[in-house]
Chain A
Amino acid sequence: MVETDAQLVERARRGDAAAFEALVRRYLRAAFATALSVLAEPADAEDVCQDAFITALERLEDCRNPERFAAWLLQIVRNRAHSVRRYQEVRRALPLRDGVPVPDNDAGPAKSAERALLRDVLMQELKTLPDVYREVLLLHDMEGWRHREIAERMGLPEGTVRSHLFHARRAMRERLAPYHFQER
């Protein structure tokens, strides 16, 4: 039987590592999607996810409604990501060397390069969307959450989520059209 968030949170509060790992595995992708909607770099989004999960664990007693753990966690992710983005904006004035590309170990070099190119283009175009569009789009189309789940966890009306998703997709299709990427 699948344990509820509340049950896992309760066990994690008592120091149960397996319960905490279950929460990490359940929400890491969503946390990543949320972090990525704020930050352009997947590596930065991963760092934010790490920090957010540790912060969440340290402050588990502050999660007054463990059934809504996901919404609470994503708020921590969002806050942390915005904080990192502000820091990056301050540092942008300084000359920085280019980031080291991360190899995609699950694919061959050609496929990996193609995937990296597509990822760069997607990220570049995603960056032009408003934050809330980006988050809704990533949670729905990448993470696979339903409108209702996104609405609950972002604290938005479901109709607003549908509307954001519609506008985000339309904007992305227009922006990606010149690249002639095939969609599934």
Chain B
Amino acid sequence: MDPQRLDLSSLDPTANSERWERLVHTIMQRAAPELARRAAAVDPVGMLSSWIRPLIPAAAALAAASAGLLLWSARDGGTAVANVPGVVEALQIPRPAADWLVEGRGPSLQDLLAALEGGDP
């Protein structure tokens, strides 16, 4: 023991062990969320979830863009239908089937029979 030492034991916080342990406990309680965050960042599942988290807004943005594109193409649908005869000609689709496509309808029984016979429906 250093004989020059001043007696500061009355200031010693560990003299009241119960109070001291409470202080340690309080610090650990306050530290718990940050420790959990750090542990999750190291754990493989946690790491995966930390990657997935930023992907969610990206996926949402992609979905919104796709929905916008679909709406835009639906609004433009008339043009697409109007172009069907041109496409039918370009692909040289045989007459009965070409008519069904241009008229936008399915073949009836009579159409099918006529097609089998090789005549016009």
Contacts and interface: CB of A to CB of B under 8 A. Distances in A.
Interface of A: 12-17, 20-21, 24-25, 28-29, 32, 36, 42, 45-46, 49-50, 53-54, 57-58, 102, 104-106, 115, 118-119, 122-123, 137-138, 140-142, 169, 172-173, 181-184
B80 to A, nearest CB: 56
B11 A14 contact: no
Interface of B: 1, 4-20, 23-24, 26-28, 30-32, 34-42
Nearest to A138: B8
A12 B38 CA distance: 8
Contact of A53 (B8, B16, B31, B38): B31
B6 A172 contact: yes
Nearest to B14: A29
10 nearest CB pairs, A to B: A15-B39, A15-B38, A118-B10, A142-B8, A119-B10, A15-B35, A14-B42, A184-B7, A183-B7, A141-B6
A122 B8 contact: yes
A102 B10 CA distance: 14
B121 to A, nearest CB: 75
Given A15-B39, A106-B17, A169-B6, A119 B11 contact: yes
Nearest to A172: B6
Contacts of A173: 6
Contact of B11 (A104, A105, A138, A184): A138
18 contacts: A15-B35, A15-B37, A17-B35, A24-B28, A29-B12, A45-B13, A53-B31, A102-B19, A106-B15, A118-B10, A119-B10, A122-B8, A122-B10, A137-B8, A138-B11, A142-B8, A182-B7, A184-B9
Contacts of A29: 12-14
A152 B85 CA distance: 88
